[in-house]
Amino acid sequence: MPIFILRRFAVLALALLVVTFLVFLIPYIGETDPVRALARARFGRLDLDAATIEALRLELGMHRPLIVQYLDWLRSAVTGDFGNSYMSREPVVEQVWSALKVSVVLTLASLGFAFAVAVPAGSIAALRQGGSFDMATKSLSQAFVAVPEYWLAPMSILVFALYLGWLPSAGWRGPESVILPALALSLRPMGYFTQVMRASMIDVLNSPHIVAAHSRGLSVRRTLIAHGLRNALLPVITLFSVWMAGLLGGAVVIEVIFAVPGMGRLVYSAIVNGDIPVLQAGLVAIVTLAVVINTVTDLAYTVLNPVVRIDNATA
């Protein structure tokens, strides 16, 4: 087990090195002069004189050779100092931390909701295969998967905020402002979770030990809860973790539409403004979380299902 975790973190370190170095190159590969882009964002005007640009370049140390800048950044990053934002000159760690908290809440709310609906719906559908509930669940879950969130989000604002006035349309204050973005974000995972839950529940129901338990006279319900659910949940949990890692930084569209100050928007605006320190720290956080979530899921797998040896899980 420790070797397994160690190996995972070696991979993580390697991935981080590669990603951060690539990110570092971004502003220098494109057509945009990163310093000019920063200056425009700071002063909000298009015409800037050369002296201002050069002064800013000097202040940010962006006149130095690339590799020196990168090694400098790396040296501090290893000690946990990710530097200051080029834009605000404030420590990026604080910005990333506050954005991360928001994203975790949003992601857990939406996936949690999706999970809470999908598990019972998928299980019941599996128990009543071919029935009308099964058919309805099936059609809905297939339709959910095909609904683009950039269509759903504006529509939900229109209905729930403008017409009904039940919920705030945008912003991030108080639990009620979590509801709409989380709902808009939850539809597609809900569709996928439901499908996978139903499929794996059917597998479990057909598996020999459930059939055996049933024949021993145990009620279907008790059998299911005692043996079935735990095994059937495994694939859904895997999917959950994959979505979790993906949404932490990938809910850009929803965060932009709902003005949610999460990771997606932080990284998005860092890219637009060429704010490399923020971008670096943001991506380091996202990649690290992806690997950590991945590892934790694999570990959880072995706990929930001792049959799976770690070596198999990693394969």
Partner 1 sequence: MPQLDTPLSPDSVQGMRSRMGNLHMVKSWLVHLSRHNRTLLVAGSVFATVIVLLLLTPWIAQHAPSAMTLSERFAGPSAEHWLGQDHLGRDVFSRLLYGGQFSVSITTITLVISAVVGTLLGVISARAGGVVDEFLMRLVDLMISFPDVLVALLLVAILGPGYGTLILALTITGWTPFARMTRGLALEINAKDYIRAAEILGCSRTFIIVYHVIPNVLRPLATIAFLRFGHKLITVGSLSFLGLGVQPPDTDWAAMLAEALPYLDRAPALVLIPGLAIFITALSVTLVGQGLEAHLDAKMKWRHESK
Partner 2 sequence: MNAQNCLKAVPALLRGVAVAVMIGPMAVSASAASGGKVIFGELFTPASGWAVETIDAYVLSRAGCLEGLARMDYDATIKPALAESWEQLSPTEWEFQLREGVTFNDGTALTPQVVSDQLNRLLNVATPPPGFSPSVIESVEPAGERVVRIVTKAPDVFVPNRLASPNTGILSPAAFAGDRINPVGHCTGPFEIVREIPRQGLELKRNENYWGGEVQLAEGEVRYIPDGQVRSMMVETGEIHIARQIPAAALAQMERSQKLKVHTVEAPRTTSLYLNNRRPPLDNMKVRQAVQSAIDVAGIAEAVYEGSVSPAVGQFSPNTPWAPENASVIPQDLERARQLLAESGVPASELRLELLAYVERPVLADLAAVIQFQLQQLGMQVNIRVSEYGAIEPQLLSGDFDMVLLSRGYLTDVADPIGTLAEDYGCNGSYNLAGFCDPEVDAQLERARALVEPEERNAIYRDIAARLQEEAVNVFLIHETISEAVANTVENYQVHVYERTAFHKDLEVNSL
With both helix axes pointing from N to C terminus, report the angle between 149-156 and 176-206 in degrees, rounded to the nearest 10: 130
Both tokens of residue 187? 């539809």
Site string for partner 2, 264-283 (x = CB under 8 A): --x--x--xxx---------
Q: Is 150 in the site for partner 2 (CB under 8 A)?
A: no
Interface residue with partner 2, options 16, 23, 56, 180 (CB under 8 A): 56
Q: Is 89 in the site for partner 2 (CB under 8 A)?
A: yes
Both tokens of residue 209? 């030990």
User: Buried (b) or exposed (e) across 46-56, using 16+ Cβ within 10 A?
Assistant: eeeeeeebeeb
The residue range among 90-98, 167-175, 235-243, 303-311 that interacts with partner 1, by the rule CB under 8 A, is: 235-243
Interface residue with partner 1, options 62, 99, 266, 287 (CB under 8 A): 287
Interface residue with partner 1, options 38, 182, 247, 278 (CB under 8 A): 247
Interface residue with partner 2, options 12, 37, 105, 218 (CB under 8 A): 37
In Å, how far are 139, 152, 236 from 300, measured between CA atoms?
A: 31, 33, 12
Measured distance CA(190)–CA(27) in Å, rounded: 38
Q: Can you give the C-alpha Rg of the chain in angstroms?
A: 24
Interface residue with partner 2, options 46, 78, 146, 303 (CB under 8 A): 46
Measured distance CA(231)–CA(236) in Å, rounded: 10
Which residues contribute to the site for partner 2 (CB under 8 A)?
30-33, 36-37, 39-52, 55-56, 58-59, 85, 87-90, 94-95, 98-99, 154, 157-158, 161-162, 165, 168-173, 256-259, 261, 266, 269, 272-274
